[in-house]
Amino acid sequence: MVHIEDSERIQLTPVPAFSDNYIWVLSKGRRAVVVDPGEAAPIEKLLKEYQLTLDSILITHHHPDHVGGVLQLKQATGATVYGPLGETLPVCDVPLKEGDEIALDAFNLDLTVLDIPGHTAGHIAYFGYIEPNTPAVFCGDTLFAGGCGRLFEGTPAQMVNSLAKLKELPLETLVCCAHEYTLSNLRWALKVEPDNPALHKRWESAQQLRDKGLPTLPSTIGLELETNPFLRPLQETVAQSAQNWAGRPLTSAVAVFASLREWKNNT
């Protein structure tokens, strides 16, 4: 299912892991970078099959389904491990925080780090241009296609702030998140916004992809802005639905967001 080409352009590939994780692989020629390898086996198989050298491992946050394979891959390949400064990781060579930049020389790719706490306290994202006109963000479990991560270690206000940073990225930015939760998210989003035509269109195309066993990712920031309720707490239709669900007036973006998050948790 996963196919890597020996190309001089950067190829972006979501490699399925566990039941619904994706490990993003950036490859160019025979070199590779992986993001959030929760397990080593699918990546080791890929490296072997396509004779790739693993240069770097990028980590967004400390959860086991994102770091479970890091130690084994590090030991097998000697790849440089990048990760959030504020979290305890199995191994991290280069701890990163907001504003830090990393240069992946073999890919001619610079990535900028964003602090996006909420799902975990030290969660980070990596943003950069994988081709001159192709920005991409690796955002772990913070922004999902049609949804967002649960608040395990942060507050609604932190998450609203973190999502606001992602919203400011260029509309065409590829959203490379770490789980295939899209259908479940969109099914719920349709309850929030039953009259959003872009959402209905997205639901149909996502279903078609899943019917074929294909990933619904990457998404784009533009598509998320049109269809993801969590990015639009101030939109009247979204706020009204959240108020109806909560059964009380919600007077701020954070209050609407918190209600949406609770609503989704309960579906």
Indicate whether 115 belongs to the interface with Fe ion (CB under 5 A). Answer: no
Please indicate whether residue 65 is annotated as part of the active site.
Answer: yes
Q: What kind and span of H or E run contains 162?
A: helix 156-167
The partner in contact with residue 224, picked from Zn ion, Fe ion, none with C-beta cut-offs of 5 to 8 angstroms by kind, is none
Catalytic residue among 61, 62, 115, 123: 61
The residue among 19, 22, 25, 35 whose CA lies nearest residue 3 is: 25
Count residues near Zn ion (CB under 5 A).
Answer: 2
> What is the smallest separation between the CB atom of 125 and Zn ion, expressed in angstroms?
13
Indicate whether 36 belongs to the interface with Zn ion (CB under 5 A). Answer: no
Q: For residue 233, how many C-alpha atoms fall within 13 Å in the half-sphere facing its CB? A: 24
- Closer to Zn ion by CB, 28 or 63: give it: 63
The partner in contact with residue 193, picked from Zn ion, Fe ion, none with C-beta cut-offs of 5 to 8 angstroms by kind, is none
Of 9-17, 41-49, 51-59, 136-144: span binding Zn ion (CB under 5 A):
136-144
| Cα 88 to Cα 203: distance, rounded to the nearest angstrom | 37
Cα 219-222-223 angle, rounded to 5 deg: 50
Please indicate whether residue 3 is annotated as part of the active site.
Answer: no
DSSP 216: -
Judged on CB neighbours under 10 Å (0-12, 13-18, 19+), 106 is: middle
- Closer to Zn ion by CB, 82 or 203: give it: 82
Count residues near Fe ion (CB under 5 A).
Answer: 2
Among positions 55-114, residues that touch Fe ion (CB under 5 A) are 65
Please indicate whether residue 66 is annotated as part of the active site.
Answer: yes
Of 133-141, 195-203, 230-238, 247-255: span binding Zn ion (CB under 5 A):
133-141
DSSP 179: B
The residue among 156, 243, 136, 224 whose CA lies nearest residue 185 is: 224
| Cα 66 to Cα 35: distance, rounded to the nearest angstrom | 8
- Closer to Fe ion by CB, 24 or 107: give it: 24
Query: Cβ neighbours of residue 23 under 8 Å, at least 6 residues apart?
Result: 14, 15, 16, 17, 34, 35, 36, 37, 38, 39, 42, 43, 69, 178
| Cα 240 to Cα 233: distance, rounded to the nearest angstrom | 9
The partner in contact with residue 180, picked from Fe ion, Zn ion, none with C-beta cut-offs of 5 to 8 angstroms by kind, is none
- Closer to Zn ion by CB, 142 or 241: give it: 142
220 and 171 Cβ atoms separated by less than 8 Å: yes
- Closer to Zn ion by CB, 141 or 180: give it: 141
Indicate whether 141 belongs to the interface with Zn ion (CB under 5 A). Answer: yes
Q: Which of 87, 115, 141, 193 binds Fe ion (CB under 5 A)?
A: 141
The partner in contact with residue 165, picked from Fe ion, Zn ion, none with C-beta cut-offs of 5 to 8 angstroms by kind, is none
Catalog residues that contact Fe ion under the rule CB under 5 A. 65, 141
Catalog residues that contact Zn ion under the rule CB under 5 A. 63, 141
